[in-house]
A and B are shown apart, each in its own frame.
Chain A
Amino acid sequence: AQKITQTQPGMFVQEKEAVTLDCTYDTSDQSYGLFWYKQPSSGEMIFLIYQGSYDEQNATEGRYSLNFQKARKSANLVISASQLGDSAMYFCAMREVLDQAGTALIFGKGTTLSVSS
């Protein structure tokens, strides 16, 4: 079974509008972390935002916020006031067993976001 599911292969949004990128996850661990990364066409992976399983508040970083619904096992990324430079591939990722340093990130299939003027 997939650990991270991103159901939107592509999303389109106009400049200055908000957009939500969906992510659901599957884990039986109590301690885990959820991450969002942006990958522009250059290929670099840019860390955007983090949410821990025990965090009560939804994470926010500038124009990025994470809508964390633990009971539904969803961690959607909300980008407010989209900019042309936001056009990229976005990956949701999870790290299980957060108390062990050696566990790697598991990635979803990604969502391609296209922002138009």
Chain B
Amino acid sequence: GAVVSQHPSRVICKSGTSVKIECRSLDFQATTMFWYRQFPKQSLMLMATSNEGSKATYEQGVEKDKFLINHASLTLSTLTVTSAHPEDSSFYICSARDPSTGLAGPQYFGPGTRLTVL
């Protein structure tokens, strides 16, 4: 299947700092990418839909000023957690669909980023 990479895989930062997470589609172009958040032993919750060349669409309850999303190219979306606090500690995972698989194709996921805010 298609490959989605994510970097970094693990980050530890101090409270108040900002952290940038990159999501890349390696062998296909993705006009849309998705960002999810997962707490331990829980499900994936959609945070936002990242659209290439336009503003991201955020889910209800997700602060757009706190979680900045930039989809500058067809293969790269970034999520920046601004002024991170301990409650932002979580597993962040991105995904994208390969358009060549058609509208019924699966979303492929990156390996995830484990963020720990001290």
Whether A109 contacts B104 in the complex (CB less than 8 A), given A43-B111, A45-B95, A101-B97, comes out as no
Could you tell me the distance between the alpha carbons of A70 and B18 in the complex, rounded to whole angstroms?
46
How many A-B contacts if CB must be within 8 Å? 61
Q: Report yes or no: B106 in contact with A107, Cβ–Cβ below 8 A.
A: no
Chain A 63-106 near chain B by CB (<8 Å), digits 1 or 0? 00000000000000000000000000101000100111110111
Could you tell me the distance between the alpha carbons of A47 and B110 in the complex, rounded to whole angstroms?
12
Could you tell me the distance between the alpha carbons of A33 and B46 in the complex, rounded to whole angstroms?
17
Q: Report yes or no: B51 in contact with A102, Cβ–Cβ below 8 A.
A: yes
Number of interface residues of A (CB under 8 A): 26
Chain B interface residue number, banded: 20 to 34
Asked if B28 is at the interface of the complex by the 8 Å CB criterion, the answer is no
Q: Report yes or no: A101 in contact with B103, Cβ–Cβ below 8 A.
A: yes
Asked if A44 is at the interface of the complex by the 8 Å CB criterion, the answer is yes
Residue of B nearest to A99 (CB): B103
Whether A50 contacts B46 in the complex (CB less than 8 A), given A43-B114, A45-B95, A104-B34, comes out as no
Chain A nearest CB from B103 CB (Å) reads 5
Asked if B100 is at the interface of the complex by the 8 Å CB criterion, the answer is no
Could you tell me the distance between the alpha carbons of A60 and B41 in the complex, rounded to whole angstroms?
28
Q: Report yes or no: A45 in contact with B99, Cβ–Cβ below 8 A.
A: no
Question: What are 5 A-B contacts with C-beta separation under 8 Å?
Answer: A44-B111, A52-B104, A102-B51, A104-B49, A110-B43
Chain B residues within 8 Å of A, Cβ to Cβ: 1, 31-32, 34, 41-46, 49, 51, 91, 93, 95, 97, 99, 103-104, 106-109, 111-112, 114
Chain A residues within 8 Å of B, Cβ to Cβ: 33, 35, 37, 42-45, 47, 50, 52, 89, 91, 95, 98-102, 104-110, 112
Closest 10 CB pairs of A and B: A45-B109, A47-B106, A43-B112, A104-B34, A107-B43, A107-B44, A102-B32, A109-B43, A44-B111, A104-B46
